[in-house]
Structure 1
Amino acid sequence: MDDVPELTRELVSIPSHEDETAAGDFIERWLREETDGEVTRDEAGSVFARTGDPTGPTLALVGHHDVVPPAEEQTKSGEYIVEERDGRLYGRGTADMKGAVAAAMCAFRDSEVPRTSDSSSGSRPRDAAPAGELVFVSFVGEESGGIGARHAIESGFAPEYAVVCEGSTNYSKQGVTDVVVAHKGRRGSTITARGTASHASEPEAGENAIYRASEAVDIVRGIDAPTATVLGNHLSGSVAVTEIEGGSAMNVIPDRCTVTVDERTVPGERAPIERVTELEGVEWAVDQDLPPMACSNDGFAERMLAAAREAQDGVSELVSKPHATDAGWLAEAGTACVVCGASEPGEAHTRNESVSLAVLDRCYRLYREAGEGFI
């Protein structure tokens, strides 16, 4: 699809690591000019476009237009650099995930109703009356804990089905875009141990908060992280202490010590870190909880797998993903989700981030195949 590379270039060139407004403006304007869909913008800044019959089932093509801060070599005079080399586009946001957003935008445009039974355009024949609704959405704040997705869900956004266009390429094998049916989440938490300060020459006069924190760390080390299996894919969670801070001076018994815990969660169960609160003077608080995802509808997963295989020569598979996405928030709210997109392992958030132009075309065809099955 010739439009996708150029649209990707334009999107990537718009800085959106501090303020997503300009990128959202561009997406909204393009959708209004290039499609006949109903285009809206919510209070958070996320952009929506709808077509088809809202009384039928809804499929959402889901992306986000915020990015992480660029590396120094990815900008020049405050502008993002976009370069094409060896069949790939390089620049901040190419893989995560403006390339897939561009592919989904073009697929939404080209999947719109009304359609006729004439299949000369390359789309498959269908009845003129739509069977359901197709929605394109690009959220804000995905990199900041799903701000846009959470706002939309709280405001009533509840599609029955969603394709979240994050990376799924080269997961089962090289040269294939797969269909992710489950991914891990992340729960970050803080253990706070409190004691009583005293002079270090008389340690018995105080209660050492570091010692209490050490007991809590021992409990964390002994926890077996949960596991889950989703459509044949086995996910193993993990729990790790990643930071510890305590004490005020070398001659003072510390009255406070904090421990940071990174937990990778799986669908259905969490590690029982709250056990640490059974210790005297120890508290536990969750700082961030990005939910895991498991596709709740086997038929939808198989349908998307068929669309993925139709869009490429390689045989794609149902796979899992180690990273959290907005699919976690949607799945938690009741949407049947899969993740399917152009980004490859190791591309997102890197200094040489890039996306394959051939894979973007593949994703366009995949998203269009999926969309045309709903309207």
Structure 2
Amino acid sequence: MSTDATTLARRLVATPSHDDPDEVGSLLESWLREHTDATVERDEVGNVFARRGGGDCSLALVGHHDVVPPDPGQQDESGYVVEERDGRLFGRGSADMKGSLAAMACAFRDSDPAGELVFASFVGEEQGGTGCRAAIRDGFAPEYAVVGEGSTGYSAPGVTDVAVAHKGRRASTITARGTAAHASEPGAGTNAIYRATDAVDVIRGLSTPETTVRGKRVQGSLEVTEIHGGDAWNMIPDRCTVTVDERTVPGERAGLETVELIEGVTWSVEQDLPPMACRDERFAAVALAVAQAIQDGDPEHVVKPHATDAGWLAAEADTQTLVIGAAEPGQAHTADESVSTAALERCQRLYRTLAERFP
């Protein structure tokens, strides 16, 4: 039998939101108005907010209702295809992250919060956090937040853990410029590919940043992912570009700017999604205690490998943030994306219990 969270998740997942999240935003807004006595609003970019309770301290349950484009089998003429079988809910956005979003909405409805409780669902998470950043610019800055991205199955299968940190992502491009010439007269030109490969050698020699959060090691990475240069087999190329994927850690960055010491080489950053680290020991401890109390497994503090809106909240709103959600690794953005309905029920209890105990 479907739980409250699964029932709402089915409706959210069935509603397309990869091109335009407005319809699913309207669904969320109307559901909150119908099922809660909260103050509900939707801002001009499409973010949905609800607030209830009171006090000097606020806890926000945060998600997003936009998704990446569906695979062909995940959409038909009526909308997104949703199936429930073998204890799982299948469909685009079920794992990332309409399942946990539904669990948050139900927990928001059912809880008797210890302070001000905020529900927030953003647009534009899949486009670099545009909705979250717009909300922060408009003053959204809760003291504490739980972001409902996946944290299930990190320490052990079927266990919902508490992520105290995640990596960020800095995407950058190295551009090497030279002088074109005929390949039969190489001395007449300057080979941009050679300059680019000199830059790649510098990157390979850089140390990868790492740090520790709540006793957990956070290891960054640095990888060259593309190289493009040259127009013909018999021409010395005058331009070559190299793309670099850097997974950043809190407080540390690789020294990519050193490639500009090479003549003719420049470096530019296209995207910089911040990492997240929860600095509040009590918040992390209470959340882990709640996670331990509501499930049979032995959850742990863990580190997520990829960026979420938690990074923007930590970096730009100074919010103490944790990531707790139903999805397991390897489910988001896949052709058979799914989430465990048992994990949705578990997260609904977790969010509600945490809201009633903290702050």
Q: Scaled by the length of structure 1, what TM-score is found?
A: 0.93
Letter in 2 for 1:351: A
CA distance, structure 2, for counterparts of residue 41 and residue 372 of structure 1:
25
- 1:237-276 matches, cutoff 5 A: 237-276=220-259
Instruction: Name 1:104's counterpart in structure 2.
Output: 104
Partner SS state of residue 19, structure 1? coil
Q: Deviations over 1:176-218 (max 9, x none)?
A: 1000001111111000011111222221111111111111010
* Stretches of structure 2 lacking an aligned partner (at least 5 in a row): none
> 1 CA distance for matches of 2:347 and 2:263?
54
How far is the alpha carbon of 1:23 from its aligned partner? Answer: 0.6
Q: 2:298 maps to what in 1?
A: 315
Aligned to 1:223: 206
Written as runs of structure 1 = structure 2, the 5 A alignment for 1:91-170 is: 91-112=91-112, 132-170=115-153
The residue that corresponds to 1:49 in the other structure is 50
Q: Confirm whether residue 330 of structure 1 aligns to residue 313 of structure 2.
A: yes
Equivalent of residue 279 in structure 1, options 246, 254, 262: 262
Match of 2:330 among 332, 341, 346: 346
Give distance in 1, aligned partners of 2:282 and 2:126: 30
**Aligned equivalents of 2:228, 2:186: Cα separation in 1:** 19
User: C-alpha separation between the residues in 1 aligned to 2:187 and 2:301?
Assistant: 59
1:78 Cα offset (Å):
5.4
Question: In structure 2, the residue corresponding to 1:100 is in which secondary structure?
Answer: helix
Partner of 2:345: 361
Q: Which runs of 5+ in 1 are unaligned?
A: 114-130
Supply the AA of the counterpart residue of 1:2. Answer: T
Aligned 8 A contact 2:153 2:329 in 1: yes
Report how far residue 87 of structure 1 moved.
1.1
Q: Give the corresponding residue for 1:120.
A: none
For 2:314 and 2:27, locate their aligned partners in 1 and report how far apart those are by CA, in whole Å.
28
Q: How many residues in Structure 1 have an aligned counterpart in Structure 2? A: 357
Partners of 1:183 and 1:266 within 8 A in 2: yes
Q: Which residue of 2 aligns with 1:62?
A: 62
SS in 2 for 1:219: helix
Which runs of at least 4 in structure 1 moved beyond 2 Å after TM superposition?
none
> 2 CA distance for matches of 1:2 and 1:83?
15
Does structure 1 conserve the Cα–Cα contact (< 8 Å) formed by 2:286 and 2:358?
A: no
